[in-house]
Structure 1
Amino acid sequence: MFGIGGGELIFIIFIALMLFGSDKIPDIARTMGKAMAQLKNATNEIKSEIQKGVEANGIDTSMKELTSSFTDEVEKVKSNLDSNMLPEVTKAKEDIEDLTGPIKRQL
């Protein structure tokens, strides 16, 4: 939990007890819990407002269309390269293997 070990956690609890006393610790924990809940609610509200704005402006659908068309174009280029460059790539690979063959054997 946050990179804190068991011994360190016990030490922190001990220091908190010494500073605040055993009667105030539950109140402090309750207050921190409420603050965390409010922070979570505020974060969720901000996320929902951003999502509503994105949907209202149509950015969500245009981004999906853009990414799908980009993916299609990338696939077309890859297939063209594979079909057009396959003999050259295979020959270059064989040439490299011929050059590095003796080096690999020496190691």
Structure 2
Amino acid sequence: MSWLVLVLSGVLEAVWATALSRSEGFTRLGPSVLFLVALALSMSGLAFAMRELPVGTSYAVWVGIGAVLTMTYAMVTGAESLSALKLICVAAIVGGVVGLKVLP
């Protein structure tokens, strides 16, 4: 259960990061509200997962999922340039996150 909550919290991290960029310094109401809600839920989920999972692993997985999804979304929408080197770096983050899950 903790791993599922952690993964969902990582997804919400990507949501709040993207909403933060779209809030234009908190001058747009919709993205600002989405940012606050997603941030609260993401942090709550991370805190829940840390009750059973090690802090280092939890935080690294949470950040990794959020970073990969945020970067992927930015590349798909054209907000971030796409290159083979960036894709390799994103794949390295995914590999690290998977490694943290499968290693004892």
TM surpasses 0.5: no
Instruction: Give the TM-score normalised by structure 2.
Output: 0.27
Higher RCO structure (Cα 8 Å, ≥6 apart): 2
| Structure exhibiting the larger radius of gyration computed from Cα positions | 1
Which structure features the higher share of helix residues?
Answer: 1
Instruction: Give the TM-score normalised by structure 1.
Output: 0.26
